[in-house]
């Protein structure tokens, strides 16, 4: 392994397909794939022949606009080029190549008759070959050679999702349309009451100012209403959400005249689904309640006038449910479901596991009989063809590099396959007894010679909710930074403790109202394991992590002072009151005066011991640099030394070779040198 491999993107020899989808006739599979130029290209695989070709190259994308740059941040897309596509009928594709939306045919030839200039979001109306689009202030219906404005607003946004919807609720759009264009619904968002956060960009000359509406804990959120547009009729609305202060979580058309709208109350303990028609709200349709919060479904699909979705009620384990047109619910027991992939041919296709949280499989549920069938072990992402006649699976395991495979009947074709160029040993999977006596799953990377006795130990941590880092997947083996640290002589360990994803809400919810407690206790259990079971030198323990992992690193060197000799915190949350409302309030509550002091790093900063490095981007609009600035100021008052690596042009997810190289070099040198090892750079 070369050190330069640590900051190469895409990862050397790795196929990382994104957004797979079948054409309406099932003949083709489309997907995005990064190329050697660090740009995403749109690929098309013909199912019958297996022929794979690029139809829109990443190099065709111009520099991303400011709006598009932030959209990619919300999607965690680290590449330029094509970021979004959706199918328009059988022979057209709407593509966002960074500089704007265009329509092309299935061979990638531009259809200039569609004028999508200024579009921020686009929705296909397949049956009439039209595109509903929003500029953010205007909604248009676009046909070949014709562009018709159907709505406008002033002082608000129209058809786009507000920040917390994109970042925390998984809703990237605020525009919806029926397939025939009979009904178009747009979210009208008033953010005038939301706190404005300002970032002064000193990395450009002359300096510029970026302004964001960012709702903090306990403060005002955006107010969202819905406007309805009927083909050939007058626009109706705006209709305020029927749940005061609630979050617009989802919207799906049940038929051409009704939509079901998911609204989560601000406390996030009640998910109400209301029906909406041309004249406004038609009534409450379905309710899901949960303690201490409701996790929103990942994947929902209209079905026979109702909805196929998932629910954790009443036992905290996510299952498939069908809500019929009258709002009656039917639940299906079976695997613990992590996501719905589609509903086709009377079957629901779900990704999940049957008791082993380290694995994932693609399952099919017959909605008539209730019978489950496991279709593809090792599947982490899937797309389903019309009528369920074929499916594509993105599969991997610790010993199986990632690939995208199309299966129809007994035949299978590989659309893309990873060809690793680095020889790596997979980590060893182990279990650790957590502080409450439950079982935690962990991965251990050992030095090349296999000797752990007397070696330093390093914890690689995330630790926060709704994330799982230890899985039987190729990404665990191909964690090049962990592998590099091990090759330099450290024993590296990852542990998913209480609060992590994949084991049901009950396991996740143990950190409710007490962040920085149980998840830190479990990382300390990982340290105890390394010392007692692997003979690691207890005087040479390090830790590193990014975002919530950065927060955990800070808590480890303060609240658990004396255990760790060194830590590197990337883009850390310092006080959850300074994070966004939808996330922090879900896990810590709405009242910023209850529990937040105990969860703040600043409450323990006087205990800081060991060597600490903080890495943070100057234009991070997610975890603001103000977290780190306040940390540094308070540390100076206390006489505590913290080393800062400042990335002037970086947001929350660092991109670009220069930033990635600097992070890799600084982090490796700091960790290894403080643990008595040579960084080898």
Q: Which residues does residue 209 pair with via DSSP β-bridges, in sequence order?
A: 200
Residue 369 has pLDDT above 70, yes or no: yes
Residue 663 DSSP one-character state: H
Q: Which of 280, 296, 312 is the last residue of a domain?
A: 296
Residue 537 lies in a domain: yes
d(CA 446, CA 448) in angstroms, rounded, equals: 7
Expressed as residue numbers, the domain containing 238 is 146-296
**What pLDDT is stored for residue 62 in this prediction?**
60
User: Which one of 296, 321, 349 terminates a domain?
Assistant: 296
Mean pLDDT in the chain? Answer: 96
Quick check: is 235 in a domain?
yes
Query: Number of structural domains, the chain?
Result: 2
- Domain closes at, from 229, 264, 296: 296
* Nearest partner of 512 among 559, 464, 455, judged by Cα: 464
Q: Is 559's pLDDT higher than 70?
A: yes
Whether the model clears a pTM of 0.85, i.e. scores above it, the answer is: yes
Look at residue 184 and tell me if it is in a domain. Answer: yes
Q: Two tokens at 584?
A: 């922090």
Residue 550 located in a structural domain: yes
Q: 366 lies in a domain?
A: no
58 pLDDT above the threshold of 90: no
How does strand 457-460 pair with strand 491-496? parallel
Kindly state whether residue 535 falls inside one of the protein's structural domains: yes
Residue 282 has pLDDT above 80, yes or no: yes
Any domain includes 139 = no
pLDDT(389) > 70: yes
The CATH number of whichever domain residue 241 belongs to comes to 2.140.10.30
List the CATH number of the domain containing 625: 3.40.50.1820
Q: pLDDT tens digit string along 76-132?
A: 999 999 999 999 999 999 999 877 899 999 999 999 999 999 999 999 999 999 999
Q: Where are the beta strands (DSSP E) in 47-88?
A: 52-56, 80-81, 84-88
Question: Diameter of the chain by CA atoms?
Answer: 77
- Is residue 383 a part of any domain in this protein? no
Q: Which two tokens stand for residue 137?
A: 């202030």
The count of other CB atoms within 10 Å of the CB of residue 679 is 16
pLDDT digit string (tens) for 10-39?
A: 999 999 999 999 999 999 999 999 988 889
């Amino acid at each position: 392994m070369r050190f330069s491999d640590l900051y190469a993107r895409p990862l050397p020899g790795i196929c990382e397909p994104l957004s797979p989808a079948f054409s309406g006739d099932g003949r083709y599979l489309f997907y995005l794939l990064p190329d050697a130029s660090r740009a995403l290209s749109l690929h098309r695989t013909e199912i019958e022949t297996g022929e794979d070709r690029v139809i829109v190259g990443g190099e065709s994308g111009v520099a991303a606009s400011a709006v598009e740059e932030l959209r990619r941040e919300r999607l965690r897309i680290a590449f330029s080029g094509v970021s979004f596509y959706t199918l328009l009928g059988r022979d057209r594709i709407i593509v966002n190549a960074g500089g704007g939306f265009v329509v092309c045919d299935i061979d990638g030839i531009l259809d200039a008759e569609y004028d999508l200039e200024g579009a921020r979001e686009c929705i296909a109306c397949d049956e009439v070959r039209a595109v509903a689009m929003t500029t953010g202030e205007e909604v248009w219906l676009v046909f070949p050679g014709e562009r018709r404005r159907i709505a406008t607003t002033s002082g608000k946004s129209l058809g786009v999702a507000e920040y917390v919807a994109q970042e925390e609720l998984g809703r990237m759009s605020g525009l919806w349309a029926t397939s025939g264009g009979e009904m178009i619904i747009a979210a009208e968002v008033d953010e005038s009451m939301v706190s404005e956060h300002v970032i002064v960009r000193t990395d450009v000359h002359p300096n510029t100012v970026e302004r964001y509406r960012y709702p903090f804990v306990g403060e005002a959120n955006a107010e969202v209403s819905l406007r309805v547009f009927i083909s050939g009729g007058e626009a109706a609305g705006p209709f305020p959400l029927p749940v005061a202060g609630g979050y617009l979580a989802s919207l799906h058309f049940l038929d051409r005249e009704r939509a079901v709208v998911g609204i989560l109350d601000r406390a996030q303990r009640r998910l109400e689904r209301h029906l909406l028609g041309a004249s406004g709200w038609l009534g409450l349709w379905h309710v899901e309640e949960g303690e201490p919060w409701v996790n929103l479904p990942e994947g929902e699909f209209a079905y026979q006038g109702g909805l196929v979705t998932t629910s954790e009620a009443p036992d905290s384990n996510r299952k498939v449910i069908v809500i019929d047109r009258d709002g009656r619910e039917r639940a299906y027991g079976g695997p613990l479901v992590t996501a719905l992939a589609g509903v086709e041919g009377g079957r629901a296709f779900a990704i999940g596991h049957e008791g082993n949280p380290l694995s994932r499989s693609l399952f099919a549920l017959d909605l008539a009989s209730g019978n489950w069938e496991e279709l593809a072990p090792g599947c982490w992402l899937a797309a389903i063809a019309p009528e369920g006649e074929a499916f594509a699976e993105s599969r991997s395991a610790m010993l199986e590099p990632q690939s995208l495979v199309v299966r129809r009947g007994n035949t299978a074709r590989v659309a893309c396959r990873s060809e690793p160029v680095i020889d790596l040993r997979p980590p060893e999977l182990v279990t650790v007894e957590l502080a409450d006596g439950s079982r935690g799953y962990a991965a251990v990377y050992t030095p090349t010679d296999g000797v752990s006795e007397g070696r330093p130990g390093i914890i690689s941590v995330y630790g926060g909710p709704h994330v799982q880092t230890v899985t039987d997947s190729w990404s665990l083996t191909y964690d090049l930074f962990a592998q590099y640290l091990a090759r330099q002589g450290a024993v590296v360990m990852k542990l998913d403790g209480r609060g992590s994803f994949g084991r049901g809400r009950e396991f996740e919810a143990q950190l409710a109202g007490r962040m920085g407690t149980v998840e830190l206790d479990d990382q300390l259990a990982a340290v105890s394991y390394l010392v007692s079971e692997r003979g690691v030198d207890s005087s040479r323990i390090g830790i590193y992590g990014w975002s919530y992992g950065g927060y955990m690193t800070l808590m480890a060197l303060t609240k658990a002072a004396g255990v760790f000799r060194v830590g590197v915190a990337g883009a850390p949350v310092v006080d959850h009151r300074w994070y966004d409302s939808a996330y922090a309030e879900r896990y810590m509550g709405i009242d910023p005066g209850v529990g937040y002091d105990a969860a703040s790093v600043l409450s323990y900063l006087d205990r800081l011991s060991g060597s600490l490095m903080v890495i943070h981007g100057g234009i991070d609009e997610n975890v603001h640099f103000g977290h780190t600035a306040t940390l540094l100021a308070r540390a100076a008052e206390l006489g505590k030394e913290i080393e800062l690596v400042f990335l002037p042009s970086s947001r929350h997810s660092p991109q670009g070779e220069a930033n990635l190289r600097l992070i890799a070099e600084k982090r490796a040198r700091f960790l290894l040198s403080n643990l008595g090892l040579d960084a080898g750079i």
